[in-house]
Amino acid sequence: MKRTFMFDALKSAIDEEMEKDNKVCVLGEDVGHYGGSYKVTRDLHSKYGDLRVLDTPIAENSFTGLSIGAAITGLRPIIEGMNMSFLLLAFNQIANNAGMLRYTSGGNFQIPIVIRGPGGVGRQLGAEHSQRLEAYFQGIPGLKIIACSTPYNAKGLLKSAIRDNNPVIFFEHVLLYNLQEEIPDKEYLLPLDQAEIVRSGSDITIITYSRMRHHVMQACKELIKNKYNPEVIDLISLKPLDIKTIGKSIRKTHKVLIVEECMKTGGIAGEIIARINEEFFDELDSPIMRLSSQDIPTPYNGRLEEATVIHPNQIIKAVKEIIGEK
């Protein structure tokens, strides 16, 4: 076991897969000599050359389209969005090409491509750099959507995503890159379609993902002191949802709180609520509650930015409201 930053865990995953398979390549803005905006590709260009770690112009639609074409011919491109918000400029390529070509070609083409990079609400990065694009991509057929949350799952999930024959959108939270954790020295892979039971409990099911996992676990420390016993699920896979794990937990707790950094309107939580109501409505003892970010562009002002996202004290209050005082 070795204590590792999340950005280093991601770099290690890419390095190992590039070493194992010469079809794996990296494209994006400043991924080469600069090493990526958060140093996930640091020094890889000197090991693998400037053609396998390709610095591109600031033209997201162009290099995304180029990567999809490369994937069709048999390569396994990894696109780094300097900030995931910029990939809105490649939305047509991601939706109409990456997501659909396997279907519209009658299965003649596979698109083994990973689109990864930093997203989420950072520290005063402004509205255009604080996007949460998971809800934007949720409705596109053919995509898998992953949100890593720890150095351990970041590495195992990214390796699996690179080997997958489908297009994978891989979200990394900008405030988690410096998170440290012990991870195995030996190679490991994690499944792309399974949620993680972060904490077993019996009182309530708290469903979350990405950075909010850590806010939920902070809240749990206080809740446990007050005799509450929450079960915490980190979704990891936002598409497809691991509804089996969610349902198993609901049959045990019969109460649900969803905590997300996504916007409330059209957010991931809305889809989860719909699925739970369709499949497990009779298991619920109370209405599902969701805590989501404000439906506004993220302010640049630090205090206003803090006010737009969910914090542990709000999670504690919501759990007490659903269960009642102990």
> Which residues are the active-site residues?
60, 129
Q: Is 51 exposed, middle or buried (0-12, 13-18, 19+ CB in 10 A)?
A: exposed
Q: How far is the C-alpha of 197 from the C-alpha of 231, rounded, in Å?
A: 8
Measured between alpha carbons, how far is residue 153 from residues 10, 79, 213 in Å? 10, 19, 13
Q: Is the peptide bond before 312 cis (omega within 30 degrees of 0)?
A: no
The SS3 assignment for 279 reads: helix
Strands (E), the chain: 2-5, 24-28, 53-55, 76-80, 114-119, 144-147, 168-173, 180-183, 196-199, 204-208, 230-234, 237-239, 256-263, 289-293
Q: How far is the C-alpha of 105 from the C-alpha of 286, rounded, in Å?
A: 46
Closest CA to 41 of 81, 8, 75: 8
Closest CA to 132 of 98, 175, 165: 175
Closest CA to 157 of 142, 167, 143, 147: 147
Residue with tokens 């990405």: 210
Closest CA to 234 of 245, 226, 220, 225: 245
Angle at 113 between CA 83 and CA 213, to 5 degrees: 55
